[in-house]
A and B are shown apart, each in its own frame.
Chain A
Amino acid sequence: MAEITPQVSTGQESIPFWRDGRVLGVLAQIAFLAAVIIATGWILNNVLQNMDKLGAFRCADGSSSFVCGFNFLRIDAQFDIGETTIISYDPSDAFSRAILVGALNTIRVAVFGIILATILGTLAGIARLSSNWLISNIAKWYVDLMRNTPLLLQLFFLYFGVILLLPPIREAVQPFGLPIYMSQRGIDLPWPVFMSSARLWIGFVVLAIFLTWILWVVLGRREIQLGKSTNRTGWAFLTFLLVAVVGWFVATATSGNNQVVLAANTVSAADLAGLESVMQQRLGVNDLASVSQAVSDGTLTQEAVDTAAFTVCTLRDDRSEVNLTAQLRKLNMPYSVKAFNRENLVSEAFAAGDCDLYIANKETLAAAQTAVSGATLIPIGETPVRFSIPSLQGLNFTGGYKLTPNFAAILVGLVLYTGAFIAEIVRAGIQSVAKGQSEAARALGLSEGQRLRLVVLPQALRVIIPPLTSQYLNLVKNSSLAIAVGFPDLWTTSFITLNQSGQSVQVFIIVMASYLSFSLLISFLLNWYNQRISLVER
């Protein structure tokens, strides 16, 4: 037998550095970092030099710097944007505002898209696990169809094959008789609008939450003392409801001076009753409720009603308009709405006598009143929240919330597509929770709802969150396909800016930085959440 002498390592010095795992690890990292720096440096230098040669970074004084390359952003954009989110836009605005409007539109698609896709995906994922054959198969077909066809194709189909083939606006489809109108011009939905008296009401709601919380704690203590249940959920709920409802009525009752409407001297009335009598005179009737009857009888012509109708001038999407028109409708006063893009345009129209009524914020109205002699301010009451309901005015719906065909196409398309992927993630997540967990929960007497909420979902979430993050990122990045259905998102407005200004590198830098920051924000939030709920292992 051969003698085997084991090689005994006497210490760390004996390892030559080219075989030391720790040294090798550090060296590999240094080498990689150096390679990355050299490569990016070379590319960047090349680009910047070329751009400089073309004069892209030239400042006004002839010198050149990177910052000056973005001076073009202050130039007037000169192109129109179909729809905006939060901020207004006019072609006389700068390129920077056009890009910002696009970015806000992208955020709108992303926020609604992520919320709706999550809801749809969760439902479809649970449906796939259903023991009901029909439900699980419908979910399966939906997922397979969406995942196996290109998104761009789906968007085109949705836009050209579904939405644009809806009936014209006058024959809008009303699903289930709800005040939802679907037509070629898009989808019009009722939408809650917070009035200025909502501030007081929200105060009451905060108070209600506070009182509920105190009651909850106090009753909890009593429960321990008495050793039995005091039905605190019921009491807490009742308290909350009571305070919130009282707050609602208080806010409504004290809202008299919150909102006013400016009436032109041709109208001159002191309150809503005054407006009513003006309209009665114009139409020559004693009761406005009888007008629609009179029109159908033929005693009054529709033209006469249309001419007599109050012209309400307002800023586009002004929330006070909802309140005013709701009050006019309630009193059966015919009206039409003229909406303008800018405050000063409304004021000009009012001064020129194009409007009977002008609704806006108080300061603007006070200014308009001094400019026009004989105009009166009429106080109108308001409830804290009003539902703005779409109504057909001529060739368009006013009020409510409008999903344009373009927005509807990109939103619905992204939600359906991403929802299918989320459904698979949710299904896998739920299936990853061991069967024993559900059995233990049932054996302990937890109800089916408690089992899902307290045992299965918290565990499934850990599996669901990481792939869900990448689906959210996909949704945001895929939203740049909006350009295909004409929705003015970040990429669309940036692309037009690029074509108009010719500053391609700068525009690309802005667009990429924007998408990158959206993505980083989402990853950051979800990673933070995932970290908070991660399992502690041995």
Chain B
Amino acid sequence: MTQAKTEEPKSFGHNEEIIVCRNVRKWYGDFEALKAVSLTVKQGEVVVILGPSGSGKSTFIRCINRLEEHQEGDIVVDGIPLTHDVRNIAEIRREVGMVFQQFNLFPHLTVLENITLAPIHVRKWAREKAEERAMHWLGRVGIPEQANKYPGQLSGGQQQRVAIARTLTMEPNILLFDEPTSALDPEMIKEVLDVMRDLAQTGYTILAVTHEMGFARTVADRIIFMDAGQIVEENTPENFFTNPENERTRLFLNQILHH
């Protein structure tokens, strides 16, 4: 797959801190799901979040685009502070795209309508422009021929690729992935991972929760390990897998690598 220069996200130099989280805390009732999480992600960086079930990985990345509301601490995305100001929230959501485990395509709209809905209503593009960009991204994820089908008529892997195209057509700088391959059959996982790998190389800033260790090892710039609502280890992939610092990380790796 080749790509033109224009479709790469805006680059502000590789050092810009595009996501800054400081002591983010979140409670569900009495249960503290995030305990003072701090993380800084630079422009163009690919960060993979690992951790046992229930450790707060989803909660954390969902706080970044306000699908969940954090109660304490600061989150700043591309210089925009995430507060109760609805205008800030709207701006951040335009910067940040998200891909879900369950795809969450709109079943009443065709693939093309799914993709053009937000560009037309949020970005106010003319339909023609939105459709042109949609077809471009469908081509990029490899399924332009499915444009006029309904989500219910596609395989899981195809649906997830449509969901990725839908997110990309909005031209975000940052991509959040929450276990994008966990609902897929093994033979479909590869086609989605290939697309993600391609995007990582294109220069998107990516924050991904995944259980795909191969992907984490080869694509990530950095790996974050979460447990019980805290970041317990931050490391390069190489060190993370061969020489983890934390005892809990070691336990986790033992469990998933030798079962």
Q: Residues of A with Cβ closer than 8 Å to B?
A: 220, 223-224, 227, 229, 434, 436-437, 439-447, 450, 454-455, 458-459, 462, 533, 535-538
Contacts and interface: CB of A to CB of B under 8 A. Distances in A.
Nearest to A461: B108
Contacts of B122: 444-447, 450
Nearest to A444: B118
B94 interface: yes
B241 interface: no
B100 A445 contact: no
Contacts of B163: 440
B contact residues, range: 20 to 34
A439 B101 CA distance: 12
Interface string B132-175: 00000000000000000010111000000001001100100000
Given A444-B117, A444-B166, A538 B65 contact: no
Contact of A437 (B93, B106, B170): B106
Contacts of A441: 106
B108 A458 contact: yes
B104 A439 contact: yes
A231 B167 CA distance: 26
A455 B114 CA distance: 10
B104 A437 contact: yes
B121 interface: yes
Given A444-B93, A445-B122, A450-B121, A535 B100 contact: no
Nearest to B150: A536
Interface of B: 65-67, 90, 93-94, 96-98, 100, 102, 104-108, 117-118, 121-122, 124, 126, 128-129, 150, 152-154, 163, 166-167, 170
A439 B106 contact: no
Contacts of A536: 150, 152-153
A537 B154 CA distance: 9
Contacts of A445: 90, 93-94, 118, 122, 170
Contacts of A444: 93, 97, 117-118, 122, 166-167, 170
A537 B152 contact: yes
A132 to B, nearest CB: 18
B207 to A, nearest CB: 13
A462 B106 CA distance: 13
Binding site secondary structure of chain A: helix
B152 A535 contact: yes
Contacts of A455: 106
Contacts of B152: 535-538
Among B90, B108, B117: residue with most chain A CB under 10 A: B108
Contacts of A227: 129
A160 B117 CA distance: 53
A434 B151 CA distance: 15
Contacts of A439: 67, 100, 104
A454 B121 contact: yes
Nearest to A535: B107
27 contacts: A220-B126, A224-B126, A434-B102, A436-B100, A439-B67, A440-B105, A442-B65, A442-B67, A443-B67, A443-B97, A443-B98, A444-B166, A444-B167, A444-B170, A445-B93, A445-B94, A445-B122, A446-B122, A447-B90, A450-B121, A454-B117, A454-B121, A458-B108, A536-B150, A536-B152, A537-B153, A538-B154
A233 to B, nearest CB: 10
Contacts of B90: 445, 447
Contacts of A459: 106-108
B118 A224 contact: no
A443 B166 CA distance: 11
Contacts of A223: 126
B118 A533 contact: no
Given A224-B126, A445-B93, A535 B108 contact: yes
Nearest to B92: A445
